[in-house]
Amino acid sequence: MPDFSPADRVTRIKPSPSVAAAARVRELKAAGRTILDLTVGEPDFDTPAHIKDAAVAAIAAGETKYTSVTGTPALQAAILDRLARHTGHRYTPAELTIGGGAKQVIFVALQATLNTGDEVIVPAPYWVSYPDMVLANDGTPVIVDCPEEAGFKLTPRALASAITDRTKWLLLNAPANPTGAVYTVAELRALAAVLDGHPHVSVLADEIYDEIHFGAGRVHSLVEAAPELRGRVLLVNGVSKAYAMTGWRLGYGAGPEPLVAAMNKLQSQMSSCPSSVSQAAAAAALSGDQGFVRESVDVYRRRRDALVAGINAIDGLSCAPADGAFYAYVNCAGLLGKSTPAGTVLAGDEDVTLYLLDAAGVAVIQGSAYGLSPYLRLSFATSLDVVDAAVAAIAAAVADLN
């Protein structure tokens, strides 16, 4: 057999830091270490019973065959109704694409549109996969820093400075991973005003966390705030986060018909269709009782408040409460330059991460993985007991620094 040589698209991307962190936690636990894991970006709740029941019923009814690449009529109707409720826009089945999770939908959108050298604006902090998905599809990620002073949000000035003749997409994630940042209608309108002068730029709006929001009212979609942009926006969402369905792998996108047609063409050659059973479950999630969503958000809010209060009581660490999602983005600049009991100097946020894992048994992810340092991402998609124990362990480890 000849030597295997991976394609350039493989060698130019990095393994996911969050996946690597989760793997390291599993290794340590298997070796007998007790680890308080604040790395996981998935709900710790079980999928609601009525959703699982819908999947079981679909299996019993023989709904286990191929479906259309764009999904079953029931799922299409559930998604389109949900979009109408949340955006005020009535999309058509021809404007709908369905894939194996929102992550796949984003990847296929980039695959369907990017040519070598096309640029994608990626505000930082960013979800770890965005730049590498751009690179994998021959594009160039243009990273734009969104500092804490700006609420970790993209400003109109920063957006305008990043746009060039090669810009194909702005990738906008809100509520954001890793910061939980949410844009107001006024902020979205201000970004839309910049985009109005650059009609060649489209927006890939990742709204996967839009149901997990801790403020008054709800999260507003870009196409709701700026309806004139509808023909240039691909809305991406799914059922993983809001309904605790990460393993069901079902995401969707809604956007301009020509773009969606190109994406569905690729999807048909990639996986033919999403899982028929997952589609039945997703239809039940989107169209059924939403009590689980409201109850889980209340639980996340209590965890967030406990985590933020605990972290802000530790000298050298600080964080503002997230407006959405289930993460805290913790500023650890106050720990840099300090020494561990073993004499190791903490030079960056990765050093802090490794120290907390070794000394406190607390697993977090360094901010450098998300494009903005020195920070730590802590997930509160875990029990309040784990949150409290992790904060106490972090406090004790920080107190030991010199």
pLDDT mean across residues, the chain: 96
Over residues 176-212, the pLDDT tens digits come to 999 999 999 999 999 999 999 999 999 999 999 999 9
- How much of the chain, in percent, has pLDDT values that exceed 90? 90
Q: Is the pLDDT reported for residue 85 higher than 90?
A: yes
Alpha-carbon span 29 to 18, nearest angstrom = 17
pTM summary value: 0.95
Alpha-carbon span 393 to 44, nearest angstrom = 21
Residue in the block written with tokens 């870009």: 222
Q: Is the pLDDT reported for residue 1 higher than 60?
A: no
**pLDDT, position 254:** 98
Q: Is the pLDDT reported for residue 345 higher than 60?
A: yes
Q: Is the pLDDT reported for residue 401 higher than 80?
A: yes
**pLDDT, position 13:** 82
**pLDDT, average across residues 249-262:** 98
Nearest Cα residue to 181 out of 150, 223, 204, 136? 150
**pLDDT, position 354:** 92
Distance in angstroms between the alpha carbons of the first and the last residue of the chain: 56
280 pLDDT tier (thresholds 50, 70, 90): very high
Q: Is 226 exposed, middle or buried (0-12, 13-18, 19+ CB in 10 A)?
A: buried
Q: Is the pLDDT reported for residue 149 higher than 80?
A: yes
**pLDDT, position 292:** 98
Question: What are the structure tokens assigned to 213, written together?
Answer: 């929001």
6 pLDDT tier (thresholds 50, 70, 90): confident
Number of Cβ within 10 Å of residue 192's Cβ equals 20
22 pLDDT tier (thresholds 50, 70, 90): confident
**pLDDT, position 20:** 73
Q: Is the pLDDT reported for residue 4 higher than 60?
A: yes
Alpha-carbon span 176 to 313, nearest angstrom = 25
**pLDDT, average across residues 244-256:** 98
- List C-alpha distances in Å: 273 to 70, 81, 110: 7, 21, 19
Q: Is the pLDDT reported for residue 141 higher than 80?
A: yes
Which DSSP helix (H) or strand (E) runs through 237? strand 233-238
**pLDDT, position 275:** 96
Q: Is the pLDDT reported for residue 35 higher than 60?
A: yes
List phi, psi (to 5°) of 84: -60, -40
**Secondary structure (H, E, C), 94-127:** HHEEEECCHHHHHHHHHHHHCCCCCEEEEEECCC
Show the domains of the chain with their CATH numbers: 8-46+292-399 (3.90.1150.10), 64-287 (3.40.640.10)
**pLDDT, position 133:** 97
